[in-house]
Structure 1
């Protein structure tokens, strides 16, 4: 989305699995400290904790606490996809969102995701995109567009495509055209939050009305 303007340094954090318990074990200052230290050594300007499901697993209050602790450790802003999505939804005044999960998410993530946003005052219609391939590498933009266009109805005001591994950012513009709703995607809102956290003015084209709206995101930038 901003490949010519943003350099990315990645620090991967291993975990035992994809259950809520596994995610909670990783989403702690002690578990993330080595990754944060390596990114700080790389002199990044901002750190993005790219795990939507980790936010689901620990909840928004604990995630906000984690962000504050990591910022203290890193000395730079820290953003997460879940909190970035919440800020984006609220900046557009959204009260009800269609939460779209990829088919490789564990079943419990549907309930945790709904609770995550409801705890922040946003109602949720949860959708599991079971018609697309379970292998993330085989997912094509047109499959995501067709599924969401058919599944979303007028009861919601926006769509959030969860999961930074979903890689559905390329679908946002067409989905907004077809649904008439604000469409957010995990990596898209991370970039939006990164720009806001660093006060960076950067024109992003082709990724939806989020970058044209009134509202202001482990990788290092």
Structure 2
């Protein structure tokens, strides 16, 4: 609250120091929910929605998502138009909250996507999730990683994720979709924590949890404490990179070693 000569004004959200944009699948609330949960005081998250053929009303999905709608998500015109509209707002950076796109198009395709979107972005930095994870893992000096994906990523999409990180110089010691209920709303932190704890190989020196719609940031601190190694998730890595791109020195507390760099 702000006092002004006896009058008291309630918080109204206009005092944000940094505003971050995120592009999300049209029926997915996960990316903006986790980003805002982690965001320190003075940081606000603003989303724009992009049609995603694998999601229906209410966020319903098939048990596993096919590759074709993932590829379509990053093709013109929908994501380009959504980016242009979002970039018209006074934002410090915009993230693409869609891990699987990086897996499917690969690192080179992801760079081309960023270059294409930059032309529509009014000068606002555009950040992708997988490239953010790579940057974070490198700064943490990780070499051998364990990759955990959502249960709605099938074996092929998970394999493409392992290939993505392998192409960036990491040794992927373990990769698999988590054996949990294949429904976003059914994921709970306790079950995810146990699955990752029980399946992380001793030789992995860092963990990446893919999927921006995968409820994961709440378990980062507990896993790092118990496993003794850095844990990165899609939305955590994306927030870390977009804050840096926006020139913000804000550091979320309680969300992993990445923000202590």
Matched, 1:73 2:110: no
Cα distance in 1 between the residues matched to 2:87 and 2:165 = 31
Structure 2 gap segments, 5+ residues each:
1-37, 55-64
CA RMSD of aligned residues (A): 1.4
Q: Write out aligned runs for 1:112-131 (5 A).
A: 112-124=160-172, 125-130=174-179
- TM superposition shift of 1:51: 0.3
Does the Cα contact within 8 Å between 2:40 and 2:252 map onto a contact in 1?
Answer: no
Does the Cα contact within 8 Å between 2:188 and 2:215 map onto a contact in 1?
Answer: no
Matched, 1:21 2:68: yes
Q: Which has the larger radius of gyration?
A: 2
Cα distance in 2 between the residues matched to 1:54 and 1:38 = 21
SS state of the match for residue 12, structure 1? strand
Cα distance in 2 between the residues matched to 1:33 and 1:171 = 33
Q: 1:91 aligns with which of 139, 153, 156?
A: 139
Q: 2:100 aligns with which of 28, 39, 53?
A: 53
- TM superposition shift of 1:194: 0.7
What TM-score results when the alignment is normalised by the length of structure 1?
A: 0.91
Does the Cα contact within 8 Å between 1:21 and 1:57 map onto a contact in 2?
Answer: no
Does the Cα contact within 8 Å between 1:23 and 1:54 map onto a contact in 2?
Answer: yes
Q: How many residues align?
A: 212
- TM superposition shift of 1:184: 0.2
Cα distance in 2 between the residues matched to 1:107 and 1:53 = 12
Matched, 1:208 2:256: yes
Cα distance in 2 between the residues matched to 1:203 and 1:190 = 13
Cα distance in 2 between the residues matched to 1:199 and 1:71 = 18
Structure with more strand by fraction: 2
SS state of the match for residue 53, structure 2? coil
Cα distance in 2 between the residues matched to 1:158 and 1:72 = 35
User: Relative contact order (C-alpha < 8 Å, sep 6+): which is higher?
Assistant: 1
Does the Cα contact within 8 Å between 2:197 and 2:227 map onto a contact in 1?
Answer: yes
